[in-house]
Amino acid sequence: MIPIEVRSRLERAEVLEVFDLVDEAARHDGLTPLSEHVMLHLRHGGDTHVRHLLARAEDGRLVGYAHLDVTDLVEGPSAEMVVAPSVRHRGLGHALATELIEISGRDAPGRGLRLWAHGESEAARGLTESLGFTQARVLWQMRRSLLSPLPDIPLPEGVHLRTFLPGIDDEAWLAINRAAFAELPDQGGWTLDDLHRRMAESWFDPSGFLVATDDQGAIAGFHWTKVHGGHSHHDDTGHEQLHAEGVDHSHGHGHEALGEVYVIGVDPLHQGTGLGRSLLVAGLRLLAARGLTQAMLYVDAANTPAIALYSSLGFTHWDTDVLYRRA
């Protein structure tokens, strides 16, 4: 059995090894095995209470990695993992998951463990079921061709569109994001540091971050778009009320550039006015104007109103991510 080392901190060279492993798996599977949240924390130093599980082959090559975050006192510990394609079906995934269960039970007793599987696979289902996990949540990835016509949906009366102003809009945007996703702490709980981490990423472009304001200049809603793929760099949720899950698949595995509805939200005071639909179309037009041919988004599979909206504008189900929970 391949030995597993547990670390509370990674050296920069080890972070780069994890990135290489992620890219190897992404090229093989066609999707990135770790979420944006995990990749951001890896690049920016991580949290004190994160555990990193490293599995190396006899030649020292990193062939397995797991990330365990025990900082969420409400939902409980959350984990993600990746195994190199060359060593799969040899028990390493089972060994990593077992170690995750043991560590989370010790470091966060009584709160269970959540494990994300990116892509709906029989292997992930079989592994999690064998270890006592049950399916807790399903995210859909939906896609739409940007070559197809978009409907003309004007903004509501008294609402104006502009782009996000870094350093000026930060706090006001956080307040609207908090209000729009009050029941979804993964998104609504973003701090200024969370926002600035994403603004520091190479993919961030304020000209692709649309902000709708009322006649007084207050933010009424927003549509933050993202372009990823088609380049090589190393960078992984609210979903009730027009929220596209911010999961990143933008690593250098050579796919065509893809536009993303990264996150879209409306101030509760402006809900029911059609602003969400207008913002969605405006962002898609922006992505199309940049020469992109495809757009994608993430949405909770249980969020039928949002799925109905996206479907009415030409989005169809593309792939699935599953959250498993162990009591």
What is the reported pLDDT for 314? 96
Q: Are residues 289 and 215 in the same domain?
A: yes
What is the reported pLDDT for 49? 78
Q: What percentage of the chain carries pLDDT values higher than 90?
A: 72
Stretch 76-105: mean pLDDT, rounded?
A: 95
Q: How confident is the model at residue 30 (pLDDT cuts 50, 70, 90)?
A: confident
Indicate if the pLDDT at residue 71 is higher than 50. Answer: yes
Last residue of a domain, one of 132, 164, 197: 132
Contacting residues for 205 by C-beta, under 8 A, at least 6 apart: 227
Domain count, the chain: 2
Residue 210: strand, helix, or coil: strand
Among the ranges given (29-38, 83-92, 202-211), the one the predictor scored with the smallest mean pLDDT: 29-38
Among the ranges given (52-66, 130-144, 183-197), the one the predictor scored with the smallest mean pLDDT: 183-197
What is the reported pLDDT for 229? 64
What is the reported pLDDT for 272? 93
Task: Note whether residue 325 is domain-resident.
Answer: no
Q: Which amino acid is at 303?
A: N
Q: Are residues 164 and 272 in the same domain?
A: yes
Last residue of a domain, one of 81, 109, 132: 132
Q: Are residues 126 and 168 in the same domain?
A: no
Q: What is the pLDDT of residues 14-29, one digit of tens each?
A: 999 999 999 999 999 9
Residue 74, domain extent: 4-132
Task: Note whether residue 137 is domain-resident.
Answer: no
Q: Are residues 160 and 247 in the same domain?
A: yes
Indicate if the pLDDT at residue 98 is higher than 50. Answer: yes
Contacting residues for 111 by C-beta, under 8 A, at least 6 apart: 73, 76, 77, 104
Query: d(Cα 189, Cα 44) in Å, to the nearest integer?
Result: 19
Query: d(Cα 119, Cα 229) in Å, to the nearest integer?
Result: 18
Among the ranges given (69-83, 137-151, 275-289), the one the predictor scored with the smallest mean pLDDT: 69-83
What is the reported pLDDT for 108? 80
What is the reported pLDDT for 230? 56
